[in-house]
Structure 1
């Protein structure tokens, strides 16, 4: 529900913009409003899971997400849709971190590889399948709903998920002594907001210094947040990111890879679907089918990468995945540059398939590496931080890869202008650069992956 909520909007955006007469700023807010509030709220959502109990927090999150989706579908103005998406993101922040926390708590270390592989495979498939489902729903136009169907689909899913959760998930005990750390929440929210606002505005070349100043202020506040978290921990408080979690070198390195990894993933989905609809006049459904191989191969890569390759190859599987994903995007750039007037549909498929396979080889093993050495005591916080970083990276993808594409494409004289091909090529080049930088950061991951079955469950095993 979460990842479909992010990616499904990318393919529906042209239809939404036309129907609601949305301004460029409102269109950008439709992409970033959800992901930004989601990223800001995830760590606090993980803390609320401890305070309310995991199952109760999850069900409340699902219910709120479902009602907010209904509000999105009923929106009659662009600003109403943006506001509903902000609310949707906040409830998603309560829903999502409980999932990984449940895996950590319900399974012994020796049993986690398979459920983690399943989780990662579905995560990758959902991220890539959003444009496909969005295209199908818009093409079907069930009951004349048009783009509103991409939000209405969450309503029956949410009802079923909430019912299954109440029946199948254990009622994890609530801890009323857990506090929320409002100072940490305020600092993290302000820093993330400023960084994302500044990055999104870099496409406006008239005020680059202002945007750089905003980004710099956000970075300063983030450093203040880290200092505040350490001070709170040393005073015996309850920071959003415990010091014990910050000091785990494996977790820190995995977070570094994660924040770079989703930039090309989400950026690719956004710009390729917009390019083929705007420049090549594809339908929303055909645009979704362009990334179908990405979705299918992501699931395959995640399953094989986590259960087969990671135990044998360690961090090398992460490097192979990032390089494979970069190769896939480079192939898409090549076919676009060789046929700027318009590549054939099938020309996109090899690059899409190779890119999806590379994504799968990263998303599954990286999640397993990041959380395998985290004790159960910090399962909720680790889940919140890791998910938050992934969503922040998705926002970075929209703000960097997306803004690069839209800034160049803005100069196009019409849909047939070859400037769209230049815009796509440069934007995907930015995404490839982020993937290669992630591969460099991945050098700091453990060279060999130690089977969590051989590790203590509730002690610090990584200093």
Structure 2
């Protein structure tokens, strides 16, 4: 009887473990995508419930702005830190902490006794999302080989579209149904069962991954990022409410000095111990640097549009939450369809032109919307909004999924957490800037003393004024996209070979340094 050679048995065991891991990673993908979906839904679901929240709690327009902007501020301020903590302590661990905290914060939002508690709970929710969300792309980037990432990012784009369509509709239904007399509160409480299930399944199916080198948290970098963002965004968000005081402008100008100090410190930190919070070397990757600029500007456009659109339909036109939610379905379906097609079929053939076409389509949709809002006035119908919303949705879908792939395509795996944190940070920073600009472009054109009969026309005028701003921002995005590579990344197979050859970064001469550390 011949025994199996130890080496052969070991190889068979290794192959079996690899096969098992291959099956598990798709379960892990479903779990992290569900978490991303939950975060996306939570943002859009709040927008549709704003009038109900305002009516039930007596919240002022400033507090309403903080319910949305407070989340974005905490999210933006913590994302880079969340990504780096995942690199250091394990992306699975931080993902599970994040989803547990997000679920708890959702419960606090749902049981908020007053607007102040709701704002504070939303800030906590944003902070927990900052721990959870960066791990999503990090886990995908570290777990899936290069040749499969296009398909995965295509799925991610479809999830973005599905989140966009589900959020407003689900929020409208939950608000309209007034379950158990809770009015708007179920929009937050619905996160509880989803979060608990995600936490339990995540512990079982997600494999742990870390940066291969021993990294330490850059505390000074964290402080500088948070201080810089707050100095920029807090006075912008509250400026109109406070009468645009001088200290606000000085604070925003001072944030530039803080960010300059951050860059200088991070360079010194990288030279000293190789463990900075922000990997400045990433900005030498052309696709990453250009994509980051587009992400930030795109966030500004979305931050303005979605908030003013909701207030226009529900407060300006006097529509119910359900009517407003269903009106947005053509937009969201179009986003989902275009996002699913763009990465797999269009970008490999047409490259950057796909993203630029998306920006032009969004601008075209906005101009049609402005024309219709002006022509039909207060008598505009939901079906008349369908055309501009479909055109805008197709344009957004052509941008969201390919842009993520373009930004991360050439990023070394060991920096995937930091890169993911940066991507989400700049988009959320742009989103918070957009929400802050709502004070200028929307409320700035509405008098503080309006007769009830003048509220609708004033909101309609402010909406059209805001859309001109959004169209201008999209024009800037179109120009920024010329800095993106003309063609799609060289190809999944080439990237995979580069990964295996150790050409994607990390300490020289060590193959292990170029692969994520996977356990469990």
User: Under TM normalisation by the shorter chain, which class is it?
Assistant: over 0.9
CA offsets 1:83-132 (integer angstroms, 9 cap, x no match): 11111111111100111011111111111101111112212332454222
SS in structure 2 of the partner of residue 200 of structure 1: helix
Which residue number in structure 2 is paired with residue 454 of structure 1?
494
**CA RMSD between the two structures:** 1.9
Q: How does 1:278-427 map to 2 (within 5 A)?
A: 278-401=315-438, 403-411=440-448, 412-414=450-452, 416-417=454-455, 418-427=457-466
Match of 2:93 in 1: 56
How many Å separate the matches in 1 of 2:167 and 2:148? 30
- The 1:191/1:460 distance shift into structure 2, 3 A limit, reads same
**Structure 1's 29 and 447: CA in aligned 2 closer, same or farther, altered over 3 A?**
same
Shift of 1:403: 4.3
TM-score, length-scaled by structure 2 = 0.85
What is the aligned partner in structure 2 of residue 9 from structure 1? Answer: 46
The SS at the match of 1:241 is coil
Q: 2:476 aligns with which of 437, 449, 456?
A: 437
Instruction: Return closer, same or farther for 1:402/1:372 CA change in 2, 3 Å cut-off.
Output: farther
> Which runs of 5 or more structure 1 residues have no equivalent in the other structure?
none
Would the aligned equivalents of 2:212 and 2:414 in 1 still touch at CA under 8 Å? Answer: no
What's the CA shift string for 1:53-102, capped at 9, x where partnerless?
Answer: 11111111101100110011011011111111111111111100111011
Matches within 5 A, 1:59-208: 59-127=96-164, 129-172=166-209, 177-203=214-240, 206-207=243-244
Q: Which moved more, 1:120-129 or 1:344-353?
A: 120-129
Matched residue count: 461
Instruction: Supply the distance in 2 between the matched residues of 1:431 and 1:203 (Cα, whole angstroms).
Output: 20
Whole-angstrom distance in 2 between the partners of 1:27 and 1:429: 23
Shift >4 Å, 4+ stretches: 173-176
TM-score by length of 1: 0.95
Partner SS, residue 377 of structure 2: coil
Shift of 1:171: 2.7
* Match in the other structure for 2:82: 45
Alpha-carbon distance in structure 1 between the residues aligned to 2:472 and 2:357: 15
1:293-335 deviation per Cα after TM superposition (whole angstroms, max 9, x unaligned)? 1111111111111111111111111100011111112211111
Please give the per-residue CA displacement for 1:176-201, whole angstroms capped at 9, x wherever unaligned: 94211111111111111121123224
Deviation of the 1:44 alpha carbon: 0.6
**Separation in 2, partners of 1:429, 1:27:** 23
**Which deviations, in whole Å up to 9, do the C-alpha atoms of 1:257-284 show, x marking residues without a partner?**
0001122223222111111111211101
* Corresponding residue number in structure 1 for 2:10: none
Counterpart contact for 2:373–2:464, Cα < 8 Å: yes
The 1-side partners of 2:139 and 2:168 are apart by: 29
Stretch of structure 1 that moved more, 297-306 or 241-250: 241-250
Q: Give the drift of 1:444.
A: 0.4
Matched, 1:23 2:60: yes
1:176 to 1:25, Cα distance in 2 relative to 1, 3 A? farther
- Give me the whole-angstrom Cα distance separating, in 1, the residues matched to 2:439 and 2:333: 24
Q: Distance in 2 between matches of 1:424 and 1:202?
A: 20
